Structure 1
Amino acid sequence: MGTSIEIMAKDGSGSFKGYLAVPASGSGPGIVLLQEIFGINDTIRGIADYYAEEGYVVLAPDLFWRQEPGVELGYGPDDWQKAFGFYQGFDQDLGIADIDAAVEALRARPECSGQVGALGFCLGARLAYLTACRCNVEVAVGYYGMGIQDHLDEAANIKGRLVLHFAENDEYCPTEQREQIHAALQGQDNVELYLYPGVDHAFARAGSEHYHKPSALMAHQRSVTAFRKAMGPHYDLSALWDKHCEYEFDTRNVADTMATMVAEPYVNHIPTLTGGVGYKNLYRFYKNHFVDANPPDTKLIPISRTIGDTQIVDELLFCFTHDREIDWLVPGIAPTGRYVEIPFVAVVKFRGDKLYHEHIYWDQASVLVQLGVLDPAGLPVAGRETAAKLLDETLPSNELMGNWPSSEGKD
């Protein structure tokens, strides 16, 4: 996805390479991506491509070039030994000067809209912190950095936003060091510090033995939010989601629906495990089991919408007459002819200006009760009442609680 460019060193000692990834739009704010101790390998290039999808022009400079240009290591025992050798031989001050050269080179490129941030992992996280202290960047983000506590005297120089992600069980940044960092930085308005319980170093690197997807997803959302707030790009996520829903439920055009999504999206209807992962399977699902499979009177009634920097959460009523088998919602249930109203929650994640995924939640028991295939007698479930109470909070509460009357008059 990316290309290799040359960056001139500030001390006149020559030039070094950097991996450049550009968003599909062709331009955007810049991010200088700072490597782990393993060089500009597949992991770093993948992260660069990932953030390019988010709308950024990403430059990953080869920071070990003064020792050996083009270092690209894996994560096996031998590569670890080589990586620590490069780490021990790394001149940090010259490295920051090279990062500064990369920042200026990126800012000068026609693809870059002008503002530049930094993002680093492991060694790169400490360098991201020092970049915030010494270089002209709008925002710097670091994952599980080591040695930051040795440079806290420079924190007063931070002018942009700083976001640091820490792993609770990180042997390279143990509790004592983390507490020093927190004590020095947590009072600054432009600093965000996050701790991820029960995880270890490299929790955000897919394929790592310590990879923890929930923490990685949360950290990524916080990171992109910081970049968005500090330097954009800003997208009208509400309009993008509305257009996607228009293609799904109004014009019922599968090609147009897929065009609103990233190259490899996914949809997960949580209660029924229906949807699709990847373009091919999701297209098949939309074409044969969703877009043209919904009843003609299908209606979405919005209740609330929460818009973040990377996602939307919609609360709505989903209404339809069950005049056909609806594979994705009630697979295997023959048409009953009954009208159904159910509360829905849609969590919609974006990458840049494209939908990345949908997580859709509803109460399946309420659907089955309304269709007459589940007898609610003796069960703590309700039918259409769940939708009615969403619109009218004054309707009775606690009627499924047999012991509710026993608390009458109690404190």
Structure 2
Amino acid sequence: MAGQWIDIAAKDGGTFKAYLTIPASGSGPGILLLQEIFGVNKSMREVADYYAEEGYVVLAPDLFWRLEPGIELGYSEADFNKAFGYYQRFDANQSIKDADDALKVLRARPECKGKVGALGFCLGGKLAYLVAARADVDCAVSYYGVGIEADLVEAGNVKGPMVFHFAELDRFAPAEAREQIKGAFKGRSDVEFYLYPGCDHAFAAPERASFNKPATLMAHSRSIALFRKVLGPHYDLSALWDRHTELEFGVRSAEQTMTTMVAEPYVNHIPTMTGGVGYRDLLRFYKNHFIPKTPKDTKLVPISRTIGADRIVDEMLFCFTHDIEIDWMLPGVAPTGKYVEIPLIAIVRFRGDKLYNEHIFWDQASVLVQIGLLDPKKLPVAGIETAKKLVDESLASNTLMSRWSESAGK
């Protein structure tokens, strides 16, 4: 995504800048992005671009403009000191009026279709709460908002759904403050609170030492779940995934498969660590080592499919005859001619209407047993029995446990 700066007219006079980015589709619901204390810097603009890739028209107003227009700070100690200096002079109440002016501009944009939400980090996390209480947004997401507890008298004015993300170790939003905020929304089933154990303030900022990727991924999924539910857009993830697999296993075209994915996707087959990160490597993988190195009789037997806001979890049987060297599953292993059936799980994440990544899991030991490279008599592993039991739960359990009989009658 490539954004642009636009001018916003303040209701009380003057103009200020705001960073606007639009999804590839050309339109979508809106998100008002509220900055950290470091200004609408490169990091904030990347967040805006990220959400544009998810299908939103995103506007990030420069809310420090009354102090100094165009502030863009990094995360060095010197920049931290500057940022706190601006924060101490910052008028939060005036900023909500500016944010409301930006919100009106966002809603009036021809690209903005339907509803609008608010999203904020740190200082912006508090501003997202205040915007939800004082302005016309349909939902809001707050990341580790600082000082919200000082304005809880306004909690009753928040009409739409909200999600609050907090870090367990955050001294700027300590446990006492978090409990006060939760208490103010007691009884509100549409207001969600999530605590990230072992994480500190700014856990979702990749440039910061406190960055925690697993927590960031989880928080983003929860945020997208709210935005999808309230704002849309609503994508048929099941159909998108089916089309992707058809191009892989039916059409067998690497180039067409890549058209279903974001500009820089990745695939990771967990047991063998095969796949690719980025367009070039993934195309190389699909074209040379996956599509032509998958047996022609490969069959996918669906068992279950769980569809979330931003991902699909597909449970299936993966069936094939080992009549070719399978680079991605059995690299370096000559064809054995053996027939194999294994349970396989695909966790597929989307950004907007494109696949972003795939995490593929299977039991490699079961594959090795079935092609004769691993002796199940010497290790607690099983062959095709794992696939059979997946579809027939009445088959015997605990056959690998020699001590199972000892618990009979206990």
Q: TM-score, normalised by structure 2?
A: 0.99
Distance 2:51 2:23 in 1: 8
Name the structure 2 match of 1:23: 23
Map of 2:279 onto structure 1: 279
Question: How far, CA to CA, are the matches of 1:361 and 1:187 in structure 2?
Answer: 40
Residue 94 of structure 1 corresponds to which residue in structure 2?
A: 94
Q: Secondary structure at the match of 1:119?
A: strand
Letter in 1 for 2:68: E
Deviations 1:290-349 (A, max 9, x none): 011111101100000000110000000000000011010011111000000000000000
Give structure 2 stretches of 5+ with no counterpart: none
Residue aligned with 1:164, SS: strand
| Deviation (angstroms), 1:70 | 0.4
2-side partners of 1:308 and 1:36: how far apart? 29
SS for the counterpart of 2:267 is: strand
Which one-letter code corresponds to 1:340 in the other structure? V
Residue equivalent to 1:262: 262
1:195 aligns with 195
Distance (whole Å) between structure 1 residues aligned to residue 33 and residue 185 of structure 2:
23
Match in the other structure for 1:174? 174
User: Any stretches of 5+ residues in structure 1 without a counterpart?
Assistant: none
Structure 1 position 2 matched with structure 2 position 3: yes
Aligned mates of 2:256, 2:360 — CA distance in 1: 20
> CA offsets per residue over residues 247-271 of structure 1, 9 Å max, x none?
0000101111000000000000000
2:112 corresponds in structure 1 to 112
Equivalences for 1:86-235 in 2 at 5 Å?
Answer: 86-235=86-235
| Matches for 1:324-363 after TM superposition, within 5 Å | 324-363=324-363
Partner SS state of residue 36, structure 1: coil
How far residue 376 of structure 1 moved from its aligned partner, in angstroms, is 0.7
> Which residue in the other structure is 1:293 paired with?
293
The residue identity in structure 2 corresponding to 1:3 is: Q
Contact conserved, 2:139 with 2:227, CA < 8 A, in 1? yes
TM-score, structure 1 length as denominator?
Answer: 0.99
Map of 2:237 onto structure 1: 237
Q: What do the CA deviations read for 1:43-76 (whole angstroms, capped 9, x no partner)? A: 0000000000000000000000111110111111
Q: Percentage identity across aligned positions? A: 66
Deviation of the 1:186 alpha carbon: 4.0
CA distance in 1, matches of 2:80, 2:208: 13
CA distance in 1, matches of 2:180, 2:391: 50
* Pair 1:37-2:34 in alignment: no
| Alpha-carbon separation, structure 1, partners of 2:331 and 2:393 | 31
Aligned counterpart, 1:402: 402
CA offsets, 1:192-218, max 9 Å, x none?
Answer: 111001110000000210000000000
Contact 2:270-2:361 at 8 Å conserved across structures: yes
Q: Does 1:253 align with 2:235?
A: no
Contact 2:75 2:207 in 1 (8 A): no
Aligned partners of 2:301, 2:217: CA distance in 1, in Å? 30
Aligned position for 1:321: 321
Q: Distance between the aligned counterparts of 1:118 and 1:282, measured in 2?
A: 35
Please give the alpha-carbon distance, in whole angstroms, between the structure 2 residues aligned to 1:176 and 1:90: 24
Q: Is the 8 Å Cα contact of residues 29 and 113 (structure 1) preserved in structure 2?
A: yes
Q: Which runs of 4+ in 1 moved over 3 A?
A: none
The residue identity in structure 1 corresponding to 2:220 is H
Q: Tell me the CA shift for residue 187 of structure 1.
A: 2.5
**Alignment RMSD, CA only?**
0.7
Q: Give the letter aligned to residue 149 of structure 2.
A: Q
Distance 1:201 1:228 in 2: 26
What per-residue deviation string (whole Å, max 9, x for no partner) do you get for residues 265-287 of structure 1? 00000000000000011011001
Q: Distance in 1 between matches of 2:187 and 2:400?
A: 48
